Every structure is written in structure tokens, then in C-alpha cells.
Structure 1
Amino acid sequence: MAEKLNYQQMASDIVKLVGGTENIQSVSHCMTRLRFILKSEDKADTAAIKKMPGVLGVVSAGGQYMVVLGKNLPPIFEAVQKQFNLTEGQNTDENLDKDLVAEKKPLTVKSAALAVLGYVSASVTPMITGLVAGGMLKVLLLIITLIDAGFADTSTYTLLSGVADACFYFMPIFVAYGAAKKLGGTPIYAMICAASLLHGNYTSLVAAGEPVTLLGLPVRLMSYSSSLLPALLITLCAFYMEKFFNKIVPGIFKSLLVGLGTITVTMIFGFVVLAPLGGYLGNYLAVVFGFLGGTVGPIAVGVLAACLPWLVMTGMHMALVPFMTQALTNPGYDAVFRPAFILHNMAEGGACIGVALRAKTAELRSEALGIAFGCIVAGVTEPAIYGINLPRKSPMIGVMAGGAAGGVVAGLLGARVFVMGYSTILALPIFQETIVAAAIAVVVAIVVAALVTFILNPEKETANQ
């Protein structure tokens, strides 16, 4: 019988073992991981953290130090916040310049790419749960309208659909918040700048279609609702503008002039250069997504689903979320990323089923089936990866085979996600008219993963487990 975990003590021990509060720049979380940004990862005692009961693993990637906690995450994260006053994304602004200088490394193509991915991923992460919530509400409304067509004409539908669309429509504001927290800037400045792209003064000019100038400079009129890249560029500009004005404005006038200078200069650049540039980049990405979905889609989905267990273990799967979000905005569907995420989770569950079928003890069989249920129905894979599949090695081959097979089938049948949802079988309605194709791919991923794992017989490898 597993001992009952003391979450308050675990929170205290984890913070101490990562180097204490003085070594923590910020702390956040996803569904299963406590994510730290540390001033120095060398001060963290990774070996000791891994030995703690309830800890499934430790991953360092993309500038984040992640403690994998699975279902134990929510109470531990809450305990960390209460005990140490470490809120999500909190940074120490006064030491920002010093910390950046201390950790400065030679610029290479790899380091630059990792920095960009880390910035984009951290910017999007805070709004993921909101996107999922809105997407699932849209699915619920769709189901109700299928049962009662007249529901779409009611005020109830109108109001609730507005709630469902809000996170997507105001995406630039939420992206700006996450980006500012990642950079260590003042979020409200970036959010004001992003919100100005959605303000009626600007959108009315877009609707009118007449030529517009700002200080004599031409403004390219585009719609930025549900956009991602413009907010990322504008927030980056706001961060450096804030630093600049903090340096040149005397202390007595900072509270009056720093914010004024930051939002004004940022949005002169924003309206004239940055927002249009982000819009164009988004359109080019849409062309790439359309190419992938229309040509090499089956191969792309299969390869990504097969690689995802290793991306999840390194934490780099979060770097794909921005592309998923951008695809849902333009071209309006995701034929690669979310399908691969869902099929990977199904394959993890299928591999656990294969382990259960070969299990020599009732305890292991029960554990494997319970974790398989968590993968398939709840969409949580870390317990499967670290607790069942990775220690036995060969089930990971089953996971990759199942993900690849399901991905190829999904691509060939044209499965596409149209709204954001979580990676669980309960989210199949997000595929809308391609739901049958997605369901077939899910079955293929589970069956192939279970069958390959069963044939490879992982119990031969771990007779003592």
C-alpha cells in the first residue's frame, strides 16, 4: 500500500532541493509538471529530488527545470505558492539585468533557436487551459445544436458562444501577458499594446478600408483578433522600451513617464512595422501548415506521434503548442499537431494495456490498466512513461509503433482538429466532421501499441519489478 504523501512537506523539500527561494526566478506548472526557472541549475540536487516519493522524474529543457509530479501536481503547486509566496511567472525585476549578464552564453544557431522556442512556448503556456476550456465549450454548444437546431438562434447560445470564443478572439492580450512574464517586463504595458490592436478605434479603420497613417507613416490595416505572432513581437519591443526608459528617466518621474514612453513608442513601431510583420509571418506559416496537411500529412502526423514520448520526456513538446494555436487561427484547422498529441496519448495507454496483458501479478495488472485509463480518458501520460513504459524499455517501441500507425491512418483519412481541446478520447468532437477518421486512428494507435508491447513481452526484461 502506497504511503500517503505530505504535500506541504514535499513542497518544502522540493524548493529546498532546487536551491531555495533565492535560486528561483519563477515557478509555473502545466498539467503534470512543476516548472522552475532557476538562476543556476547547478545548485539543484536532481538525484535527491528523483528519489522523493511521489516524484516521477526530473527534466531540464528549454531553460526550465521541471519536476514531474503527475496527479500530485495541483496540491504541491498550491503548497509552494502558499509557503513561499512564489506566484506563477514571478520574476525579480531589480536583478533582471544582472541575471541576464551572469547567464549570458555565446550566441549560436542552436542557442538562438532554443531561446526563440523557449520565449514562444512560455508566452503561450499560461493561456492553454483557457483555450482548451473555450474549445470544449464550443464542442458542447455544437453537440446541443445537433440535437436541437433551434438552439443556435437563442440568446443563450449567443452569450455562451461569446464566452467560448473570448480566449481565441482576445488571444493577443493573453499572449502578451505570458510573453511579458517570460521576459520579466511589466505585463500591463504589453497587454495594453496588444489590446490596442483589438480596440474599436483600430478595427473601425480596418472595416472602413481607407488609407491610414501614423505620424505620417503608412499603417497596414489587418485584423489581429486570434493572432499570435504580432503580440510576441510587440511584447518584445515593449520589454526593451521599458528598460530603455527606466535607464533614461530620473527616478522621481519614472512612475509618470516610463509607462507613457513604453506604450507610445511600442505601438508606433507596432502599428507601422511589428504587427503587420507578425501578420505576414502568420500567413506564411499557414501556407506551410496547408502544405504539410495536403501533401506529407500522413507521414508528418505519424513521425510526430512516434517522436512525442521523447519530446514529452524532455519537455520540448510544449514548443509545438504555438504552432498548434497558429494553425487553428490560420488556416483554421490543425491536421498535424493536435492529432499527433492525441494519438501519442492513445498509444501510451495501449502500451500499458499490453503490459497489463503480460503482467504476472494482479497488482501490476491493476496499476497498468489504471494508468492506461488515465492516458486514454484523462490525457495524462507521465505516469505511463515514467512508471510503466520507460522502465520496461520495449513498451516504448510499442508506443512509437502505435503513434506512427495511428498518425498515418489519421493523415490518410483526413482527420483535422477545428477547435482547441485536450489530448483525450473525450475530446474527439473537436474533429467535428472528421470525427470518424479520428476515431479509427485512435483505435489503430491503441491496438497496435498494445499488440507490439504484448509481442515484445516486457515482463521478461523486468522480472523483479
Structure 2
Amino acid sequence: MNKYEEIAKQVVEHVGGISNVEALTNCMTRLRFTLKDLNKADVKKLEAVKGVQGVVNKNGQFQVVIGSDVSHVCDEIKKMGSFSDTIQTKTEHVSVINRVLGAITAIFQPVIPAICGAGMLKAVLALLTALSWVSTESQTYVLLNMFADAAFYFLPIYLAFSSAKYFKCNPYIAAVLGAILIHPTFSGLVAAAEPVTYFGIPVKLVSYGSSVVPPILIVWLQSYVEKFANKVSPNAVKVFLAPLIEFFILCPICLIVIGPLGSVVGDVLYVVFDFLNNQARWVIPVLMGAFCPLFVMTGMHYSFMPVQLAQYATLGYGTLLGPGMLASNISQAGACFAVALRTKNKELRSTAISAGTTALFGITEPALYGVTMRLKTPLWCVMVSGGIAGLWGGLVNMRTYASATAGITALPVYITDDMMNVVNAVICIIIALVCSFVLTLIFGMGRKNKADKNFEEAKQAESANSQSNSVNTYSSIYSPLNGKLVKLENVNDDVFSKKVMGSGIAIFPESGKVCAPFDGKVNTVFPTKHAIGLTSDEGIELIIHVGLDTVELNGEGFVQHVQDNQEVKKGDLLLEVDLDFIQKKGYDITTPIIVTNSSSYIDVIETDKTQIKIGEECIKVFK
């Protein structure tokens, strides 16, 4: 087993098992889960897993911070089961604002790699042009510029597709709605600037290339119209009639109502950006530089992306994220390097050097969770330094011209005709690095290296959690029947013998009493009484299926003694079965006992006995 498999298995176990995972995806450093039941996740045990930097539960998203290896861990988890990759925001007890922010984050998350990649391509092109290696008059420049612009110009299509997955409607219809906004014919009408009407209704001519708000709003509306269209369309013609209804309703609304509404939002944002740039240009970089670590902790930094893209669309450059995040990220690096210099703990030194180097390139979670937040005072040093460096960026009006991860490799996105913009970015990096390094050196470690003591205490706490997790490494399931044990692979039913439903054992019963195999709860007694589903207090999900094909008896020969959702103790009577009656009817009474969430555990081992009695251990489930 490689290290990624080990991390993956432990993470899955501590989020409540495979059966508790509704959706899973990853960003650059985090596993992002939608869990069916957040209460099943054990944060302390997750944080004790070697390889986990931290845990964040925000807006219904359960985030496990891994670092740069996150994609490998995510791949290993996806091998364990089939999950949706669309992360939903759980709305119970979540404010409207947090729901909106959660939705924005979920919609933009899949699109960000394309935007960042295209942004870096623009940065490379700017660098090639600045060095006079590529002429702006050449076809090479035209093609490279086209490659980079495609991700931004066709953004309405990508966002529509991503929004459809979030709002659970047809993503291909959504993509068509996004494409309508930027269709060449409509773009031509906009360029011609002549009045356009639809059945006499005026259509506002707006250029929607790179737009953000309209595609999200139109797909949100689509999610309701689609339900209506599917409901009123007869099954025989639903395949074409439902989409026809959607297009007939949504297309005009898209261009007449929602599109112009989005443009109004853009106009308002332009006024706000223009005011800030002219009257208080230092405010945003200072706030972002100082509070970026808090945004990263909660995953809120992705929520700013729509506004940043709107700023690019209205002004042609960005000041919202780039300068402030550059100041903050480099400050994380400076603090880590100071910790590495002062600490006497070899493990902390190694962690700090690695995390600081990663932070230089814009990935700060290892620094945040592994060093600065863990040691506390260095985090305050980072926030002060980020604010100071952000102030410089604001005063000199630092601007980015494409989206990129805010680190030293992002310097090309500051390239413009005014090369002082790049010089100012370099100065910002130096201010952040030096200021954070010095402040952490002076204040961050405390007298007599108090930070080392904090680190040791944190490690001891994690070790204690880890040790407590290693106790009782398996749970027991006790026999619900008296009888002869049968290997599951020898059961005369492929669903059980091939372990389609999970691992377990079977019993050929010698008496008709079926008792509770552990302390837990009855999930369901099947209407035909031939099978019963239970969940143990430790989370084991079990089905006791009395006989094969006995569902056909419609309850004859079975007496039910418990109800759905009833709490039971080991040994409580669940069912009474007339075994002679069932056999006379020609049915096999072999009773499979299946752990249906087997994939949530390392292994399920049956006893090697041949005969067993009620209450004797028959299965061990290893955590």
C-alpha cells in the first residue's frame, strides 16, 4: 500500500465511510466533500492523520487540506467508490449569504484550472513580447493570444455547464444557453448597434464575452423550467418536447431579461472599481493582504473570483486578488523560513522549509496549517506583513492582467507597457518576505522558543488521538441465528456469492429465532419481513436476509418483533421464522448476513467456526 492509499483510507474512515460521501472533488490543496451526515465526520482523528494539514467545515462543504499531493489522494479515494464530482452546499442552518458564497465556490471550482492556465499563457505571451522574442504583428502572437483568450471569451459556456451540474439540470442544454450569449450572430448585432426586437420586445445589445452573472442566473432559472417541462411532456415525446419548451421559454428571457440584468451588475461594479481605484486604491490590497489567511481557512478566497473576472471585463486589469494575495502568500513563506531558522525541533524545521518553499509559489495551505496557524504568533506576523506589503501594492497601483496563482511565478501577469508595474510587484514580494521574516524572528517564536513547545504539545495531542484511534481496531458482529456457517461464495445466489451487496457470511439456520447481532438501530424491516436492515452504534450497516428468494412469500412464515427506527440491544428478538413452512414451499433457508458498507472498512473477516450459536462472534469488521 503506497502512502496515498494509506492517507485515503484513513480520510474516508474518519469522514464517516464511503457510504457517507455524497460528492468529492479536489482543488489545488484540498479534498472537498459533500457528506450525507456531517456528524459522522471526526475532525480530531482527521487532523491526526499523517499527511492531513487541516480540516475546514464551511457552508456545508467538508474540506480536508492535504497540500500539493491532494490529487493523488483524491484519485485513491475515487477508486473506493463512485461519487458525484459536483459539490453541493448543505442549506440547513446556513445563512443566505453563505449559501450564495458556497454556490459560487462550487460553480467556479471546476473552471478555475482553465482560467489560471489561460492566464499563465497570457503571462508567458506578455513576457515573450516584452523580451521582443515575439512580435505583436506576427501570426504566432495572434494564435497564442487566441489560445489564451478562448478560456475567457467562452467563459459563459463553461460557467453554464458547471452551474447545471450544481443546480442538477441538463448541462448540455445549459451550455447551449451560454453559447447563445456569445453566438457570432448576436455579437454581429451588438457590433452593428441597430435596434433589435423579439416579437416586438426590445432586446438590449450587450457584449457577453467573459460574462459571469448572466450564465449562472439563466441556468438557475433553467433548473425550475426543466422540472416543469419534464412534468408536462408525455414520455413518448419527452426527449425533444422538454428541451423545446426549455429553449422556447429560456432563450428570450436570457437576452431580454437576465442578460441585461447581468450587464447592469457589471455597470455597478465598474463604478465601484473606478471609485476604489481613484479614491482609495490602497484599501483592497491592504484588506486582502492582511485577511487572506482567514479567507483561505474558510475556502472563501474562491468566492472572490467572479468579481475579479468582472474587474478584468470592465477595466481590463485586476486589483482585487493579485496584489493582496501576493503579499499574503509571500508573507507565509517569510514566516516559515524564520521558524526554520529559530526552531530546535528537526521535524518542525523540515516542515517549515518545505511549506515556506511551497508558499513562495502561491500554495499556502501547508504553511498555514502546518506552521503559522499551529504556532499561533507567526500567523499574526503574517497578517501584519501582508497588510504592510498590500499597502505598498495599493499605493503604487499594482495591477494584474490575467489570473494566476499568486506567487513568484506569477510575476509575468504584471507585465504591461509600464514595466514599473512588474518592478513594484518585485518590491512587494521583498517587503512581504523581509517584514514577515523579521517579525516572526523577533516575536513569532517567543521567549525560550515557546513555539517549539507549542509544536510539541500539538504533536502530542495528535499522537494521543492517533493512539486512541488504534485501540479497538475492529468491531464484532455476533450471530443472529443458531446454525451451520456457510461461506458467502457458496451461497446459491450471485448477488450474495459475488459480494455485490458487500462482504459477510451465511448461516443455514437450525431454529427460527433471529436476534440482534449488536447494539444499534433497525433501519428497515422489509414489507415482506424476509429481510431486515440494521446499523450498529459504531456505524456498521448490516442486512440479514432470511432465505433465498423468500420475498416471493409476501411475509408468510415470518413474524416481525421490531419496527423501523427502533433501538435494539444485542440479543433482542427481531424476527421469528417458520423454517419448515419455508422449506416445504421449496425455498432455500440459507441466510446471508451482509455488511453493506464493507467498502468503508479495511477488511471484513468471518469466523472459521462451522457451527455457531446466537450471541457468538461471527464477523470481525476492521476499521
TM-score by length of 1: 0.91
Does the Cα contact within 8 Å between 1:192 and 1:263 map onto a contact in 2? no
Match of 1:330 among 314, 319, 325: 314
Residue type of the alignment partner of 1:395: P
Residue type of the alignment partner of 1:448: C
Does the Cα contact within 8 Å between 1:151 and 1:157 map onto a contact in 2? yes
Does the Cα contact within 8 Å between 1:402 and 1:449 map onto a contact in 2? yes
Match of 1:31 among 28, 53, 56: 28
Pick closer, same or farther for the CA change 1:118–1:138 going to 2, 3 Å: same
Structure-1 separation of matches of 2:441 and 2:134: 50
Displacement after TM superposition at 1:449 (Å): 0.9
Displacement after TM superposition at 1:43 (Å): 2.5
Match of 1:302 among 272, 286, 291: 286
Which whole-Å deviations, capped at 9, do the CAs of 1:124-149 have from their partners, x for residues lacking one? 22111111111111111122222236
Pick closer, same or farther for the CA change 1:41–1:253 going to 2, 3 Å: farther
Pick closer, same or farther for the CA change 1:149–1:426 going to 2, 3 Å: closer
Aligned residue number for residue 94 of structure 1: none
Task: Return 384-393 or 34-43, whichever deviates more.
Answer: 34-43
What are the equivalent positions in structure 2 for 1:24-423 lying under 5 Å apart? Answer: 24-89=21-86, 105=92, 111-148=95-132, 151-376=135-360, 378-423=361-406
Does the Cα contact within 8 Å between 1:34 and 1:68 map onto a contact in 2? yes
Pick closer, same or farther for the CA change 1:446–1:457 going to 2, 3 Å: same
Structure-2 separation of matches of 1:160 and 1:87: 35
Does the Cα contact within 8 Å between 1:123 and 1:177 map onto a contact in 2? no
Structure-2 separation of matches of 1:295 and 1:351: 32
Task: Return 294-303 or 61-70, whichever deviates more.
Answer: 294-303
SS at match of 2:102: helix
Identity, in percent, stands at 35
Moved over 4 A (4+): 103-106
Which whole-Å deviations, capped at 9, do the CAs of 1:188-231 have from their partners, x for residues lacking one? 11111010111122112112222111232111011000111111
Does the Cα contact within 8 Å between 2:128 and 2:134 map onto a contact in 1? no
Residue type of the alignment partner of 1:261: I
Residue type of the alignment partner of 1:132: C
Aligned residue number for residue 14 of structure 1: 11
Does the Cα contact within 8 Å between 2:373 and 2:379 map onto a contact in 1? yes
Does the Cα contact within 8 Å between 1:241 and 1:262 map onto a contact in 2? yes
Structure-1 separation of matches of 2:233 and 2:19: 29
Pick closer, same or farther for the CA change 1:461–1:364 going to 2, 3 Å: closer
Does the Cα contact within 8 Å between 2:29 and 2:365 map onto a contact in 1? yes
Structure-1 separation of matches of 2:253 and 2:19: 37
Structure-2 separation of matches of 1:238 and 1:81: 30
Displacement after TM superposition at 1:104 (Å): 5.7
Does the Cα contact within 8 Å between 2:338 and 2:440 map onto a contact in 1? yes
Displacement after TM superposition at 1:62 (Å): 2.4
Structure-1 separation of matches of 2:317 and 2:231: 45
Aligned residue number for residue 96 of structure 1: none
Which whole-Å deviations, capped at 9, do the CAs of 1:69-108 have from their partners, x for residues lacking one? 10220111122233323252278xxxxxxxx9xx6647xx
Structure-2 separation of matches of 1:429 and 1:314: 29
Task: Return 6-15 or 216-225, whichever deviates more.
Answer: 6-15
SS at match of 1:118: helix
Residue type of the alignment partner of 1:360: K
Aligned residue number for residue 414 of structure 2: 431
Structure-1 separation of matches of 2:146 and 2:398: 26
Residue type of the alignment partner of 1:411: G
Task: Return 303-312 or 366-375, whichever deviates more.
Answer: 366-375
Report the aligned-residue RMSD.
Answer: 2.1
Does the Cα contact within 8 Å between 2:339 and 2:441 map onto a contact in 1? yes
Structure-2 separation of matches of 1:34 and 1:425: 25
Does the Cα contact within 8 Å between 1:80 and 1:86 map onto a contact in 2? no
Aligned residue number for residue 443 of structure 1: 430
SS at match of 1:58: strand
Higher-Rg structure is: 2
Q: Which has the bigger relative contact order, CA under 8 A and spacing at least 6?
A: 1
Displacement after TM superposition at 1:431 (Å): 1.3
Structure-1 separation of matches of 2:339 and 2:114: 35
- Which structure: greater strand fraction? 2
Gap runs ≥5 in structure 1: 92-99
SS at match of 2:136: helix
1:455 aligns with 2:455: no
Task: Return 262-271 or 82-91, whichever deviates more.
Answer: 82-91
Structure-1 separation of matches of 2:289 and 2:2: 34
Structure-2 separation of matches of 1:224 and 1:455: 52
Does the Cα contact within 8 Å between 1:302 and 1:404 map onto a contact in 2? yes
Does the Cα contact within 8 Å between 1:55 and 1:67 map onto a contact in 2? yes
TM-score by length of 2: 0.69
Does the Cα contact within 8 Å between 1:358 and 1:457 map onto a contact in 2? no
SS at match of 1:225: coil
Gap runs ≥5 in structure 2: 457-623
Pick closer, same or farther for the CA change 1:32–1:116 going to 2, 3 Å: same
Which whole-Å deviations, capped at 9, do the CAs of 1:266-294 have from their partners, x for residues lacking one? 11211110011011101211221222222
Aligned residues: 448
